[in-house]
Structure 1
Amino acid sequence: MDDLANDSAVRPLLSEARLIYAITVPLSTAIILANLVIILSISCNRQLYNTPNYFFLSLLVADLCTGVALPFIPWMGLNRPLSFSSCLLVHIFPNFLFLAFLFNLVIVHYERYMFIVSPLHYSSFWVHRRFPLALLAVWAPPLLYASLPAFGWNNRAGPGWNGCCSFNDTGAPGAPVNCSTVVTAGAAPVGSECCSYRRVFPNAFIYLEVYGLLAPAILSIAGMTGRVLWITRGQMKDICRLHRSVATRGGGQTSEREQRLNLRYTRCVAAVSLTFLACWVPYIIYTHVCVTFLLSKETRGNSTTHIVLSCTGIGSMAVMPLVLGLANRQYTDPVRKLLHKLRDRWRRRQDSEDMAL
């Protein structure tokens, strides 16, 4: 009977593990490889050694670390029998990497926003004059905030943490959710410590992170992007007006260049909108679903839904720097040249082999 109970307890966790790795491993591999390609491209091109690209390089490093931590992020919503120190580590470290990635994303958008808004004062911008301080500002605060549970802001003393599979059906705060029993050699689940995100992160910590850090960061990025598009629209209208006046004086009609500018701007707006929908909307949905689940009194959540939402939400956000990097020909030229050289070498080898035959 005990063996049957253990088998029935282990089987859900095994299915969850297969689902997590089936989604995250291909996505994580693609994110890591793409980031490495862009990082090497920037490192090999000395013309790209400037402050804007240094910030973007910092973002790529944070994105690379997020890709490495991606397979471990869905486990943060599942209960496991771990010691409290190990539980802190598996929750704090991925949270720090994700917050650092978000802060780097904000500073990159802010730097490019200032380049568009005030190009004449761009060289005297404080980010350029105090680059080490700005770089410290996007890595140190996420580390300090993510480490607060290790300094005592946690629910370690909360009830119900002895025995990972003991549910509190009353809906009290601190009750384990999505509990999965792990039966390993020499480790008994009954009476062992339960590792849950509710044990590491108090409700106030989660609310402050979501509505005090994540929401303002996303809104600021959306606001800066919208402002840049609005300024671009105004500049394009001025250019079109100038072309129209020149064409009128010359007795001609509206130039084709004006139509190309309108078409290019339309494509730009469409690309930005699609990027926002593909990269931000899944994460926003995942965040609000998690907060709604936290507020609900039901403790038994759908682990499959949580796994899919966490993987797609975090993964979609990690793709955004890759979209920005691959859209810049300066970052992809070294790789393109290398591929051309390999292709030419392969063709020459094939030609020599054909001539030998």
Structure 2
Amino acid sequence: MASDDDLRYREWLIYCITTPLSSAIILANLFIIVAIVCNRQLHNTPNYFFLSLLVADLCTGIALPFIPRMALEQHLDWHACLLVHIFPNFLFLSYLFNLVMVHYERYLCIANPLHYSQFWVHRCFPVALLTTWVPPLLYASLPAFGWNEWHRDDDVNSTSNSTTTGDTDDGDTCSYKRVFPTAYIYLEVYGLLLPSIFLIVGMTGRVLCITRKQLRDICKLHRAVERDQASDGEHRLNVRYAKCVAVVSLIFVLCWVPYITFVNVTLRWMKGDGTSQNYTLHVILSCTGIGSMAIIPFVLGLANRQYTEPACKVLRKLRDCWRGVQGHTDM
């Protein structure tokens, strides 16, 4: 167990890092959620999937301060310990599943635009939406159904206490090691998290390849009309595609790489001592890794002018009012 000073330092470190990140994630998601809800033209299946992603991301922002605390040893009973570990894990998994579903839906729309309405994602929207919430809830709840180390540790502690004269009882010590077995963590990382990330990256790469092929076809038509001379429209298309590739690459570097680094460092941290020597690094990586991945929906939302138009109108009105006030004061 860490000393009281170490625990206070860890709590302070978590609070300083997670509070601004969590606030920014919550406000950014509320900004786009309000824009979708208030615009009836956006009430369709693709935007419902995106709205579900925003809600999951909002919940992830709320749960962000509790995720680094999983590595702390706290004095909690069995039910409270399950709650503080299972609930944040469920919210994060649901966010990841929603992110995969949004990319999958958009991939189907681009890869098969003529048959999009025939796919199960569009025809069975409630079922598709449930697949983003129910499986994460079931998997996150497995420790509550017996796949944990809590009772095994209690048996070991009771046996050791019965053979010694000490009075120490660690039965109420709550930590992730007692809730999540090693096999459970490895299954989540290598069976759910990393495959989901690679699936998103693969679908995004496939969409870029399809876009590139369509761009080449358009350029051929332009050159046929312009007699092998590159037109301004062709140049603008190439520039927009280059910007798209640059944005996708930047998102991967800034959002996915920190999280993948956090996952691998965490696994090594679990294999090692896992004490306070590496705890500061673990907190920083967990907050920045999850926080950077949580800004992906906001970036996707900013790319759609329909989501940002209501806020832009309000800002323009405020700007005009401010200019009017400044004009009256100058007179």
TM-score of the superposed pair, with normalisation by structure 1:
0.85
Pairwise CA distance, 1:293: 2.5
Report the Cα distance in structure 2 between the residues aligned to 1:203 and 1:268, rounded to whole angstroms: 40
In structure 2, the residue matched to 1:298 is: 273
Q: Deviation per CA, 1:213-249: give whole Å up to 9, x if none.
A: 111111110110000000011111111111111111x
In structure 2, the residue matched to 1:87 is: 81
Q: Which moved more, 1:16-25 or 1:108-117?
A: 16-25
Report the Cα distance in structure 2 between the residues aligned to 1:238 and 1:308, rounded to whole angstroms: 47
Is 1:231 the counterpart of 2:207 in the alignment? no
Q: Is the 8 A contact 1:51 1:128 kept in 2?
A: yes
Q: Is the 8 A contact 2:74 2:173 kept in 1?
A: yes
RMSD (CA atoms): 2.1
Gaps (5+ residues) in structure 1?
A: 1-5, 164-187
Report the Cα distance in structure 1 between the residues aligned to 2:31 and 2:213, rounded to whole angstroms: 36
In structure 2, the residue matched to 1:245 is: 224
Residue pairs, 1:194-205, within 5 angstroms: 194-205=173-184
Q: Please point out which of 245, 255, 262 is paired with 2:231.
A: 255
Pairwise CA distance, 1:161: 9.1
CA spacing shift, 1:191–1:231, aligned 2, 3 Å: closer
Q: Tell me which amino acid in the other structure corresponds to 2:245.
A: V
Q: Deviation per CA, 1:8-38: give whole Å up to 9, x if none.
A: 9211111111111111100110110111010
Pairwise CA distance, 1:257: 2.1
Report the Cα distance in structure 2 between the residues aligned to 1:79 and 1:267, rounded to whole angstroms: 47
Is 1:222 the counterpart of 2:201 in the alignment? yes
Q: Tell me which amino acid in the other structure corresponds to 2:143.
A: P
Q: Is the 8 A contact 2:153 2:178 kept in 1?
A: no
Report the Cα distance in structure 1 between the residues aligned to 2:214 and 2:80, rounded to whole angstroms: 55
Q: Tell me which amino acid in the other structure corresponds to 1:282.
A: P
Pairwise CA distance, 1:297: 4.6
Is 1:323 the counterpart of 2:299 in the alignment? yes
Q: Is the 8 A contact 1:81 1:189 kept in 2?
A: no
CA spacing shift, 1:285–1:160, aligned 2, 3 Å: farther
In structure 1, the residue matched to 2:134 is: 140
Report the Cα distance in structure 1 between the residues aligned to 2:59 and 2:264, rounded to whole angstroms: 24
Report the Cα distance in structure 2 between the residues aligned to 1:322 and 1:76, rounded to whole angstroms: 26
In structure 1, the residue matched to 2:287 is: 311
In structure 1, the residue matched to 2:255 is: 279
Q: Tell me which amino acid in the other structure corresponds to 1:208.
A: L
Report the Cα distance in structure 2 between the residues aligned to 1:189 and 1:133, rounded to whole angstroms: 50
SS in 2 for 1:280: helix
Is 1:15 the counterpart of 2:9 in the alignment? yes
Q: Is the 8 A contact 1:162 1:193 kept in 2?
A: no
Q: Tell me which amino acid in the other structure corresponds to 1:341.
A: K
Report the Cα distance in structure 2 between the residues aligned to 1:218 and 1:275, rounded to whole angstroms: 13
Residue pairs, 1:1-357, within 5 angstroms: 9-159=3-153, 191=170, 193-248=172-227, 253-294=229-270, 296-300=271-275, 302-355=278-331
Report the Cα distance in structure 2 between the residues aligned to 1:234 and 1:299, rounded to whole angstroms: 49
Q: Tell me which amino acid in the other structure corresponds to 1:343.
A: R
Report the Cα distance in structure 2 between the residues aligned to 1:335 and 1:161, rounded to whole angstroms: 58
Report the Cα distance in structure 1 between the residues aligned to 2:168 and 2:19, rounded to whole angstroms: 28
Gaps (5+ residues) in structure 2?
A: 158-166
Q: Higher helix proportion, which one? A: 2
Q: Which moved more, 1:133-142 or 1:255-264?
A: 255-264
Share of identical aligned residues, percent? 63
Report the Cα distance in structure 2 between the residues aligned to 1:349 and 1:162, rounded to whole angstroms: 73
Report the Cα distance in structure 1 between the residues aligned to 2:143 and 2:85, rounded to whole angstroms: 10
Q: Is the 8 A contact 2:154 2:171 kept in 1?
A: no
In structure 1, the residue matched to 2:162 is: none
